[in-house]
Copies of this chain bind each other. A is one copy, B any other.
């Protein structure tokens, strides 16, 4: 009897499991239909890019984007919409940079772009001999005797062999972030960094340096990959003293200003003080429209909540769309969000960030998930996301904003993974415009994120 009963129960649970999988599958299909047929992410992005445009922290456009975000989520009728105040750095580029290779009597203009948090040059620019290196180690070995008084030129290329371009960015990025700090310590008078992209073109790609308050600071700029190749070739051809570099930039760091995260929420029916956050960052670099970085993440996060409302699904946990401020040069918004969560004793169970572009979805990476949790995700959710080609589910990083929540020790942090092949062609450059976003790819990403939020809300997710 006992055996029979056990078998009966086993069969029953198996059937219930199948029924529940089938229900989940139906709801996910509805989520995608809403994203693909009635999706508003693309038109919201158009507005953000074309009507507001670049929105570097502290800029008037950043402030406009905060107002837009609040209005948008209010218009959608989310249960709560509010701002979270935080002070942000206020770095300004000033007038367009000028740069020249001085090859004896020949002068070659090259495209550069000041790096975030860098100081300007003296008013008339800086001119010096160039010292080309491929790595920080190489520069360290040269030492201050060789470096002092020179402009350091970091010129290690993106490694094209990485399949996911984020890894190429990861391994080349120290040149831009840590290179200027090191060069300054060694007495250099300026730094030129090869743009962090595999694409060979004339667009400099900006981005932040790691300069902090106590550091000696020297002017640092990104040079286009074509410019870098030209400069490097010249340095090889000529004897060093013949070639000098000149650049002028009048960027500066002004006092911090007040800014905001924008938060929208659908309050949970069963556990209103437990939160699933989905977000992207509202600020962007100033060279273009911040379309893929990270307008797409912002509009996808809002779209997740809009889909919930459109389908009349009431989540058990509170689900929040967060537009983080100041991801690009400070991370103050992300820090503020986590601080507030802690202060308000909120229990965060999961947070998803979309900050790898609005390209076609490939899946998600999970940070701080337990081993068993990841097995569960792979065994139960992978098949649900497979029809949508968003089923690469593995351990990995999340995102710079949501990662601040790690200090709460309650949440699994999740990175939405879009196809990465085109991302660094446009990243932080003048090419990051609305026209480079594809409507369907953007909508599919919102669908994937909403589907994952739904699965987490209904089934939970197990933290390490």
Residue among A33, A36, A388, A441 with max Cβ neighbours from chain B (10 Å): A36
Kindly report how many copies of this chain are found in the complex they form together: 2
- List chain B residues, Cβ under 8 A from A389: 163-164, 362, 392, 419
* Complex CA distance for A362 and B389, rounded to whole angstroms: 9
Q: In the complex, which residue of chain B has the Cβ closest to the Cβ of A164?
A: B389
Minimum CB–CB distance for A154 against chain B, Å: 21
A-B contact pairs, 26 of them (CB 8 A): A32-B161, A32-B163, A33-B161, A36-B160, A36-B161, A37-B160, A37-B161, A160-B440, A163-B387, A163-B388, A163-B389, A163-B444, A164-B389, A165-B440, A198-B440, A360-B360, A360-B419, A362-B389, A389-B392, A389-B419, A419-B419, A421-B438, A421-B440, A421-B444, A422-B440, A422-B441
Tell me whether A327 is interfacial, beta carbon within 8 Å: no
- List chain B residues, Cβ under 8 A from A362: 389
Interface positions, chain A 190-226, Cβ under 8 Å from B, are 198-199
Starting from the known contacts A33-B161, A199-B439, A421-B438, 17 additional A-B residue pairs (CB-CB under 8 Å) come to: A32-B161, A32-B163, A36-B161, A37-B160, A37-B161, A163-B388, A163-B389, A163-B444, A198-B440, A362-B389, A389-B392, A389-B419, A421-B440, A421-B441, A422-B438, A422-B440, A425-B438
* Complex CA distance for A37 and B360, rounded to whole angstroms: 24
As a 0/1 sequence over residues 102 to 116 of chain A, the CB contacts with chain B under 8 angstroms (1 = contact) are 000000000000000
List of 5 A-B pairs having minimum Cβ-Cβ separation, nearest first: A36-B160, A421-B440, A421-B441, A360-B419, A360-B421
- List chain B residues, Cβ under 8 A from A444: 163, 421
Interface positions, chain A 414-464, Cβ under 8 Å from B, are 419, 421-422, 425, 438-441, 444
* Complex CA distance for A360 and B362, rounded to whole angstroms: 11
* Complex CA distance for A389 and B425, rounded to whole angstroms: 19
Minimum CB–CB distance for A243 against chain B, Å: 28
Minimum CB–CB distance for A446 against chain B, Å: 13
- List chain B residues, Cβ under 8 A from A421: 360, 438, 440-441, 444
- List chain B residues, Cβ under 8 A from A198: 439-440
Residue among A163, A388, A444 with max Cβ neighbours from chain B (10 Å): A163
* Complex CA distance for A389 and B388, rounded to whole angstroms: 15
- List chain B residues, Cβ under 8 A from A37: 160-161
Q: In the complex, which residue of chain B has the Cβ closest to the Cβ of A162?
A: B36
Minimum CB–CB distance for A38 against chain B, Å: 10
* Complex CA distance for A387 and B162, rounded to whole angstroms: 10
Interface positions, chain A 113-132, Cβ under 8 Å from B, are none
- List chain B residues, Cβ under 8 A from A440: 160, 165, 198, 421-422
- List chain B residues, Cβ under 8 A from A388: 163
Minimum CB–CB distance for A23 against chain B, Å: 19
Q: In the complex, which residue of chain B has the Cβ closest to the Cβ of A443?
A: B160
Residue among A164, A362, A419 with max Cβ neighbours from chain B (10 Å): A419
As a 0/1 sequence over residues 14 to 41 of chain A, the CB contacts with chain B under 8 angstroms (1 = contact) are 0000000000000000001100110000
